[in-house]
Amino acid sequence: MMSLLSAQNVSHGYRSFSLLGPARYHPVLEDVSMEIGRGETLALLGRSGCGKSTLARLLIGLETPMHGDIRFEGKPLNNLSQAERLALRCAVQMVFQDSISAVNPRKTVGEIVAEPLRHLTDMTVAQQSQRVVELLESVELCAEDAEKRPATMSGGQLQRVCIARALAPKPALVILDEAVSNLDLLLQIQTLDLLRGLQEKSGLSFLFITHDLRLVERFCSRVMVMDGGRIVEEAAVHGQVRLEHPASKQLQDAILPAWPRGCARPDQPQGAVRQPLIVNV
Ligand SMILES: Nc1ncnc2c1ncn2[C@@H]1O[C@H](COP(=O)(O)OP(=O)(O)O)[C@@H](O)[C@H]1O
Ligand SMILES: [Mg+2]
């Protein structure tokens, strides 16, 4: 399977400048290699600050890595023709955690969803409106929502507006950067089920960035664990995932229900199994 998007030995960091001393280099990613194929749902799991969003920005070409390269369909991003660059801008879309700040509050929902159609396609205004309705319906919103302003929508609805916008240019890959983290558990699951349904129809790939192992188990087919800017573990996901690296175990423990360490729950033996995600929608 040819990879859609890949990172090859990517290292990246930031310089901080100070009036008092020399500029310091802060490494963020170290020797990251990964690839995502067509139709797959790959999880990038890691604690806050480990470098997940930085990798996402590099993957979509918002920043250029200091070492190594990012390839789109096998071609390095810094070597794409104009036409290939446009193809990349359509093929890879991103949805962020904070949907409120990801949209212009003065625009209508219809205008927001049509943005990529205006920038990336040569559709007429009538064709755009038609497509906006289809997109809104695909995320279980309705044609009338196109007239609304973001402030009048709930968090879950607004996140679906952002998903509809990401789907507008018919991408091959959508990067979901903590995209459901602000929603309550039920809405998270509904949103992921919706995304999975869209994937079944269109063969779309997802890169699902999260710190929540339960969602990985429910939604993804493969997981990469990142810690301190490195990929420390990779595993296939079939229901419950068994991870070995200490950083992975920490994330596993983080989802145990709150209960003092070293103190066995009355109903479970010491070191009891994780609570499965029991909500079924
Ligand atoms: N533009 C930037 N300038 C300086 N430091 C940054 C910048 N972006 C991210 N960082 C640093 O890189 C590290 C990783 O950040 P990030 O990729 O956002 O992690 P994550 O998404 O896993 O929470 C953090 O220490 C963060 O402070
Ligand atoms: Mg992040």
User: Which atom of ligand 1 is the closest one to the Cα of 178?
Assistant: 21
In this prediction, residues 13-35 reach a mean pLDDT of 92
- The finding on whether 51 has its CB within 6 A of some atom of ligand 1 is yes
Tokens 């797959």 label which residue? 40
Q: Which residue has the higher pLDDT, 130 or 20?
A: 130
Of the bound ligands, which one is closest to the alpha carbon of residue 181?
2
- The finding on whether 97 has its CB within 6 A of some atom of ligand 1 is no
DSSP string, 29-78: EEEEEEEEETT-EEEEEE-TTSSHHHHHHHHTTSS--SEEEEEETTEEGG
- The finding on whether 52 has its CB within 6 A of some atom of ligand 1 is yes
Contact of 25 with 54, CB cutoff 8 Å = no
- What domains appear along the chain, each with residue ranges and CATH number? 3-15+25-100+172-254 (3.40.50.300)
Over residues 169-200, the pLDDT tens digits come to 999 999 999 999 999 999 999 999 999 999 99
Q: Is 19 left (phi over 0), alpha (psi -120 to 50) or beta?
A: alpha
In this predicted structure, the answer to whether residue 271 has a pLDDT above a threshold of 60 is: no
Over residues 200-243, the pLDDT tens digits come to 999 999 999 999 999 999 999 999 999 999 999 999 999 888 89
